[in-house]
């Protein structure tokens, strides 16, 4: 009886040994595939990255980091007591993101997008028959008519 138990354990150990060998072979195959894929990914990344800057290029020639998005002011509904603060926040945004607000029409469009209620109605009446590109930002809210030409 004891020999029969040992014989059964020997068979089980042999089966486990074979299973372990098969798993090791699968593991080696997977490791080779991972290594190949890692090499392919590295080659693709190297091909897609821009060429490094020449050593002779100084810091002034390096591209500037992207501007921060900034935080939009709260929409303005036409309350006269809040107008100055709203315009101050918009001016601050223009200074913070000069590339985004590089023209008078970009500034005017931005402000109009933040207007609500009475203020939006005023802007619609004032600007609806005018080409935005012909407007002067400094004059739109003042006594002038806002036209450049």
Going along the chain, which residue ranges are E strands? none
Q: What does the pLDDT read at residue 49? A: 64
Q: In this predicted model, which residue has the larger pLDDT, 13 or 135?
A: 13
- Count of other CB atoms within 10 angstroms of residue 136: 16
Q: What does the pLDDT read at residue 81? A: 94
In the chain, % of residues over pLDDT 70 = 78
Dihedral pair phi/psi, residue 135, rounded to 5°: -95, 150
d(CA 91, CA 84): 10
Q: In this predicted model, which residue has the larger pLDDT, 88 or 143?
A: 88
Per the listing, tokens 């209620």 go with 117
Mean pLDDT calculated for residue range 88-106: 90
Longest CA–CA separation in the chain, Å: 112
Q: What does the pLDDT read at residue 17? A: 87
Report whether pLDDT(41) > 50. Answer: yes
**Annotated domain spans of the chain:** 1-45, 80-140
Report whether pLDDT(116) > 90. Answer: yes
d(CA 132, CA 120): 16
Q: In this predicted model, which residue has the larger pLDDT, 15 or 42?
A: 15
Burial of 51 (0-12, 13-18, 19+ CB in 10 A): exposed
Q: What does the pLDDT read at residue 34? A: 80
Q: What does the pLDDT read at residue 61? A: 55
- Residues 47-94: pLDDT tens digits? 766 655 555 555 555 566 666 667 889 999 999 999 999 999 999 899
């Amino acid at each position: 009886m004891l020999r029969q138990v040992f014989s059964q354990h020997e068979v089980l150990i042999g089966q486990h040994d074979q299973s372990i060998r098969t798993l090791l072979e699968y593991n080696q195959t997977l490791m080779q595939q991972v290594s190949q894929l890692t090499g392919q990914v590295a080659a693709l990344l190297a091909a897609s990255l821009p060429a490094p800057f020449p050593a002779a290029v100084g810091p002034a020639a390096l591209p500037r980091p992207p501007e921060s998005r900034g935080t939009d002011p709260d929409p303005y509904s036409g309350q006269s007591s809040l107008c100055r603060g709203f315009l101050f926040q918009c001016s601050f945004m223009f200074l913070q993101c000069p590339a985004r607000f590089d023209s008078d029409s970009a500034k005017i469009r931005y402000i109009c997008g933040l207007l609500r209620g009475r203020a939006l109605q005023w802007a619609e009446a004032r600007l609806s028959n005018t080409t935005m590109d012909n407007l002067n930002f400094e004059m739109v809210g003042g006594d002038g008519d806002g036209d450049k030409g």
